[in-house]
Amino acid sequence: MRNINPKRLIIVGGVAGGASAAARARRLCEDCEIIVFERGPHVSFANCGLPYFVGGEITQQDSLLLQTPESLKARFNLDVRVKTEVIQIDRAHRRVGVRELETGREYTEAYDALILSTGASPLRPPIPGIERPNHFVVRNIPDVEKIMAWSKGCQSCRAVVVGGGYVGLEMTEQLRHRGFQVTLVEALPQVMTPLDPEMAAWLHTELRANGVALHLGNPVVAFESPSAQEPARASIVVLKSGERLPADSVVLGMGVKPEVELAKVAGLELGKLGGIRVNEHLQTSDAHIWAVGDAIEVRDGVTGHWALIPLAGPANRQGRLAADHVFGRPSRYNHTWGTAILRLFKLTAGCTGANERTLRRAAIPFQTLHLHPGSHAGYYPGAEPIALKILFAPDTGRLLGAQAVGHEGVDKRIDVLATALKAGMTVHNLAELELAYAPPYGSAKDPVNLAGMAAQNVLAGDVALAQWSEVASLDPQTTLLLDVRRADERARGFIPGSTHIPLDELRQRLGELPRDREIIAYCQSGQRSYFAVRILAQHGLRARNLSGSYRTWKAAQPPESEH
């Protein structure tokens, strides 16, 4: 390991990565000079809490301020300079050029070590009219102050949110809480792209149930000026389909891009995805410069490929580890797993690791399993089903990814699965985990255990699976869909073209089933149809279980109005 032994550390950017690096650096070196430059007015604030301030769940703006320049000076003896932008890095002489934004004064500061935490900026594609008034982004406190100022006295205002990622969904929820009419526009066929389509479909249903007008697969092509015939305080949002949406405000949540101009001009290596390229120690191509947070490319924990994963948790850890390495500690940041969670009205959606699209792109073989276990013991009041999906290697059973959507208990299961993923566990390990159980909190077989056990059945050859996406293309000449639910369940809805034989009658009615066709059995969630497949297989019939069964298939179907 190199020995820089810095006495002067400069950090560019605060918030998650920069503030964490500065505080850690001070704990490691009491007599070092540490300077933090922050372009905005706030060095350490809860940017993930910004939508909840807009919606009124966080009532005081001061609650968003985690630290101030004064508190960081008092506790950590940090020299924090806000409203000050670093405009140049002189690598040859190890110094930065700085501009005070309020006065315009420019000066230089020397460094022994430099940490870049420049973050990512909201995307503003070159759509005509995108810079019109009352178009907002949500990156910092001044941004939400503008939204709050707009919303005062606005009755029944019409907000159009463009983009169905985390920020777009959170802002959609919070603007509905404020009583605004909200339309969500997403260019892709689904919101929250870390989820696979059938899992995101639960969110689509929740959005519509809460009065959100949803336009999927329909990108914005222009923001036009309102007119007397089409009045609006902001724009007429024109979609590719030709639809025109009057908007009193537009919230742009179209993703983010790494802020790398400073690094690029300084000649630091950038990756193919546009982020700053760092090694396992978070060092850039210059041994005296480190980079952390949303501006860097990281290694995906499942595929090993370079990725952009802008999340606060990894940024905090990177800031700490970069400071460790600056001061000679043998720290390494190896991978990011993309673990994330979202609340949307009454639903919670979480994910960790890879989804199907990522695995296909990386040519990694995988098996898919859906199940719908209860959030806690079924006999204890209030249990809610969790739509749970795991992806695992078909040979070793290694866990590759997990997704969950539900009203209760999603956070607990995703955190367990994220830990298992990081530890390189297999589905066999999931089946064996000893997890806390009491009726109000879980079941003797926790949903994580059940996922592992169900996957073990697949690996052992006890059951073969069919997926919801196969149903539409099944050939009735070669395949029979078999509904093994009770009659009252079937009366509430069924997959068209299916034959109905309740599970408890199956053994007595085997003669009604063809032996020259494959049978795909389904129930409500997949457990009873698994029992059915075991019966059929042991009587010499070819059978597969529809993974996730009717619940997953039904969730993935478009609304009747979209047929």
Please give the positions annotated as active site: 523
**425's tokens:** 């566990």
Beta-strand (E) ranges in 347-395? Answer: 347-353, 367-371, 386-392
Place of tokens 């042991």: 538
Give the number of other Cβ atoms within 10 Å of residue 147's Cβ. 23
- Phi/psi for 396 (5° steps) reads -95, -20
**496's tokens:** 């068209």
Q: 235: which DSSP letter?
A: E
Q: Which residues are CB-neighbours of 234 under 8 A, at least 6 positions away?
A: 132, 133, 134, 135, 160, 223, 226, 247, 248, 249, 250
The C-alpha atoms of residue 339 and residue 354 are separated, in whole angstroms, by 10
CA atoms in the 13 A half-sphere facing the CB of 57: 14
Q: Would residue 282 be called left, alpha or beta, if left means φ above 0 and alpha means ψ between -120 and 50 degrees?
A: left
- Phi/psi for 177 (5° steps) reads -60, -30
Residues of the chain by 3-state class (helix, strand, coil), percent to 5: 30, 25, 40
Question: Helix 15-28 vs helix 312-326: angle between axes, to the nearest 10 degrees?
Answer: 30
Inter-residue contact 448 to 433 (CB < 8 Å) = yes
Inter-residue contact 483 to 497 (CB < 8 Å) = no
DSSP codes, 467-495: -GGGGGG--TTTEEEEE-S-HHHHHT---
